[in-house]
Amino acid sequence: MATIIDGKTLAQKIRSNLKLECEELKKNGINPKLAVILVGDDSASKVYVRNKNKACEDVGIEFEEYLLDSSITQEKLIDLINVLNYKKDIHGILLQSPIPRHLDINEAFRTILPEKDVDGFNPLNVGKLALNQDTFVSCTPYGIMKMLEEYGIDLNGKNVTIIGRSNIVGKPLIQCCLNKDATVTICHSRTKNLKEHTINADIVIAAVGKAKFITEDMIKNGAVIIDVGINRDENGKLVGDVDFENVVNKASYITPVPGGVGPMTVAMLMNNVIKAASKLYK
């Protein structure tokens, strides 16, 4: 039976420490503040923004939300980002994705100043991660690395298979794992014979968005399983990309859904906002 990696408890521990850091910053005249831009009325995005707002309240970070109509032009979106870039009381800017298809999210990410890019999507920060330099790391990969560190799971020399190549999770995770001296295999929708890549992996990280996609026969005994997926099964129950009930008997460590990666993503966002504010005193 695998050890359950409790992301919820670890996230709360991190947020408690960040609250102390936030209080210290305020004593020095800095009030950490996050600005979140939400374009349109995507219901899932609204939930995510609400959770981020609650986390900010918990830590002591001020929160500003900018709700934009789904018909907004690219020019007006960029104009808003530029306004926030130069507001001295704003330390972090987050553009909640997805955004309407007529908008260019990459231009938006490029426009957010690197020092306020708490989501780690500005190309400069992406490049710094590739060079193993200090930077803002995308929050989900950062949370995963923190969980592995907390549970003493060393990546040095380990075979890591990542399933999913998104700019938000898969691609930055490659760099995070390489920076810890892992041997990394990246799999995706065009990968042939996926099982051949997962069965020999010491660590499998699933981020494909398919309920119970990773089954017991796809992993080796004692593998570490990190489940990034958030899906609904046929009964409407929240489940991950991993068939948890069966895989838990074969893995050495495994993250649950919910209560695994999700809370850590939000905690790392809070961490990045505090880091951005702290840079004013370094």
Point out the residues that are catalytic: 52, 96, 119
In contact, 208 and 164? CB cutoff 8 Å: yes
Sheet holding 224-227, edge to edge: 3-4, 253-254, 224-227, 203-206, 159-163, 183-187
Nearest to 49 by CA among 269, 277, 279: 269
Pairing of strands 253-254, 3-4: parallel
Give me the count of residues in the chain: 282
- Contact present, 154 and 198 (Cβ < 8 Å): no
Closest by CA position to 116, among listed 28, 10, 37:
37
| Alpha-carbon distance values, 135 to 32, 82, 122, 268 (Å) | 18, 21, 10, 13
Which spans in 60-190 are helix H? 74-85, 105-111, 123-130, 139-150, 170-178
Q: Is 191 left (phi over 0), alpha (psi -120 to 50) or beta?
A: beta
The two structure tokens encoding residue 119: 């989501």
